[in-house]
C-alpha cells in the first residue's frame, strides 16, 4: 500500500465535493458559509460586503479564533470539525484557503496575509486597516479551482 501524507489544504483541494458540494467552489457560497460559521460561533451580527474584487465577511466578534485551539494562520490550514453548523462539517477557513486565490485577515493582531497568489493587495490592506480596528474581517478574491 502506498500512503502519502498531504497537507490539509491539499486534501480539501483534492476532494472538493466533500467540502463544497458537486457544483464546485464559488466565492458567494464560501463567504456565505463563513458568515454562517460566525453566527453559529456566537457573532451577534455578521455582514458580507464587496470591496472592488474582494468579498469580505465582517463582525465585531472574532469568530475565527472562537472555540479554536489553533492560532490565526493555523485556523486557515487545519481541518476543524464543526458540528455546530451541521453534522459532518468543518469550519470554512480551510475551505476558503483551499479555493480562493487570495485570502487576507484583519483583527486585533493586525493585517495578516493567509494566501497571496501574486496579486496586488495594498488597496485591500489599507481599506481593512481603515475600517476594521476591532472584531474580525476575512477577505478573499478570485477562485483557485482544483485541477480537473
Domain residues of the chain, as ranges? 8-143
Cell numbers for 30 = 464560501
| Strand-by-strand arrangement of the 110-116 sheet | 47-51, 54-59, 136-143, 100-107, 110-116
pLDDT of the residue at 46: 97
What sign has the CA pseudo-torsion 131, 28, 92, 40?
positive
| pTM assigned to the model | 0.91
Closest CA to 13 of 72, 84, 96: 96
Tens of each residue's pLDDT in the chain, 148 residues: 555 556 899 999 988 888 888 888 899 999 999 999 999 999 999 999 999 999 999 999 999 999 999 999 999 999 998 877 666 788 999 999 999 999 999 999 999 999 999 789 999 999 999 988 788 999 999 998 776 5
Amino acid at each position: 500500500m502506498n500512503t502519502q501524507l498531504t497537507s490539509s489544504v491539499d486534501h480539501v483541494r483534492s476532494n472538493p465535493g466533500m467540502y463544497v458540494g458537486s457544483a464546485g467552489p464559488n466565492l458567494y457560497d464560501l463567504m456565505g458559509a463563513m458568515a454562517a460559521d460566525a453566527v453559529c460561533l456566537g457573532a451577534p451580527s455578521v455582514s458580507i460586503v464587496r470591496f472592488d474584487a474582494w468579498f469580505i465577511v465582517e463582525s465585531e466578534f472574532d469568530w475565527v479564533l472562537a472555540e479554536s485551539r489553533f492560532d490565526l494562520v493555523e485556523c486557515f490550514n487545519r481541518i476543524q470539525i464543526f458540528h455546530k453548523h451541521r453534522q459532518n462539517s468543518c469550519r470554512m477557513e480551510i475551505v476558503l484557503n483551499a479555493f480562493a486565490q487570495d485570502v487576507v485577515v484583519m483583527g486585533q493582531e493586525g493585517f495578516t496575509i493567509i494566501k497571496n497568489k501574486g496579486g496586488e493587495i495594498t488597496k485591500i490592506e489599507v481599506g481593512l486597516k481603515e475600517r476594521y480596528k476591532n472584531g474580525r474581517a476575512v477577505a478573499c478574491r478570485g477562485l483557485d479551482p482544483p485541477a480537473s
